[in-house]
């Protein structure tokens, strides 16, 4: 399927993977709408991002049910809805505060489940929902994040059946990748983390934002892929 003139929503689309997906989709003549939490970032991204397609943006709290429902009611339908909601955490089950584990699971799984329950009514026939999971890490050192990612994978499998045959559902599963999520780290700290992480990856390097973004494009363009978790992780879990 071509993305030309397709309408794509990217929740979390002003930085990291979402921003790069927007850029790549625009190059394919898609119409892209990005949602971000901060109006200033949304405005700046829309003004600075160029492409062959059309780009617009909206600032809202995508975890707020009422704001999300109002957005979809006003915006109409989309061919593809992508969510990059969720973050990362470190720490095991015994060393992490219960509140942190609960919030991580809430932000990763329940926020995306809410997106699914609201958004699917606004996805055009033969369109798709694409979520963001994650690879790497261990339950003993990334407890809440692991639970959230596994829940996303399970949700994708269930939704793919529930929404078939009209809507496809997939997830992209990157591993640690230098993105805006790590904006608080200095350049030297990022280089140190890249080197340390690459030692445990079969390909002996970390991925790029562009490589991860390409998986979202593949998920949109291939009409015979559903219920899948596309791991763009260099084989980190092998």
DSSP run (H or E) holding 102: helix 98-105
pLDDT tier at 184 (50, 70, 90 boundaries)?
low
**Main-chain dihedrals φ then ψ at residue 9, nearest 5 degrees:** -105, 130
In sign, the C-alpha dihedral spanning 215, 3, 108, 184 is positive
Within a domain: 232: no
Cβ neighbors of 14 (< 8 A, separation 6 or more) are 34, 36, 38, 41, 42, 44, 45, 57
Statement: residue 4 has pLDDT above 90: yes
Within a domain: 1: no
Runs of H (alpha helix) within 130-199: 143-162, 187-198
Within a domain: 61: yes
The span from the CA of 194 to the CA of 189, in Å, is 9
Mean predicted confidence (pLDDT) in 182-209: 80
How do beta strands 78-83 and 123-132 pair? parallel
Within a domain: 164: yes
CATH number, domain of 63, equals 3.40.50.720
Closest to 180 (Cα-Cα) out of 46, 32, 37, 75: 37
The model's pLDDT over 6-20, given as tens digits with 9 standing for 90+, comes to 999 999 999 999 999
Q: Which two tokens stand for residue 19?
A: 């921003």
Mean predicted confidence (pLDDT) in 119-135: 97
Q: pTM of the entire structure? A: 0.94
- The edge-to-edge listing of strands for the beta sheet with 167-174 is 54-59, 31-36, 7-11, 78-83, 123-132, 167-174, 229-232
The full 3-state SS of 34-70, as one line of letters, equals: EEECCHHHHHHHHHHCCCCCEEEEEECCCCCHHHHHH
Who wins on pLDDT, 226 or 190?
Answer: 226
Range of the domain at 175: 7-227
- Percent of the chain whose predicted confidence (pLDDT) is above 70: 97
Mean predicted confidence (pLDDT) in 197-214: 91
Within a domain: 238: no
pLDDT tier at 183 (50, 70, 90 boundaries)?
low
Residue 62 pLDDT: 97
Within a domain: 235: no
Within a domain: 69: yes
Within a domain: 234: no
Tally of domains in the chain: 1
């Amino acid at each position: 399927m071509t993305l030309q003139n397709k309408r794509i929503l990217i929740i979390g689309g002003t930085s990291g993977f979402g921003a790069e997906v927007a850029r790549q989709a625009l190059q394919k003549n898609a119409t892209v709408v990005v949602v971000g939490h901060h109006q200033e970032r949304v405005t700046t991204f829309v003004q600075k991002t160029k492409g062959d397609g059309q780009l617009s943006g909206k600032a809202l709290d995508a975890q707020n049910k009422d704001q999300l429902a109002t957005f979809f009611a006003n915006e109409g339908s989309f061919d593809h809805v992508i969510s990059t909601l969720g973050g990362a955490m470190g720490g095991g089950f015994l060393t992490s505060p219960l509140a942190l584990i609960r919030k991580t699971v809430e932000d990763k799984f329940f926020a995306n489940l809410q997106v699914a329950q609201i958004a699917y009514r606004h996805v055009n026939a033969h369109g798709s929902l694409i979520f963001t999971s994650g690879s790497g890490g261990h339950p003993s050192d990334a407890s809440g994040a692991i639970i959230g990612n596994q829940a996303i994978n399970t949700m994708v499998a269930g939704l793919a059946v529930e929404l078939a045959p009209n809507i496809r559902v997939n997830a992209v599963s990157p591993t640690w990748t230098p993105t805006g999520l790590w904006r608080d780290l200095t350049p030297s700290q990022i280089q140190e983390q890249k080197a340390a992480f690459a030692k445990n990856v079969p390909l002996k390097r970390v991925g790029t934002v562009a490589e991860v973004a390409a998986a979202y494009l593949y998920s949109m363009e291939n009409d015979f892929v559903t219920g899948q978790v596309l791991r763009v992780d260099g084989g980190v879990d092998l």
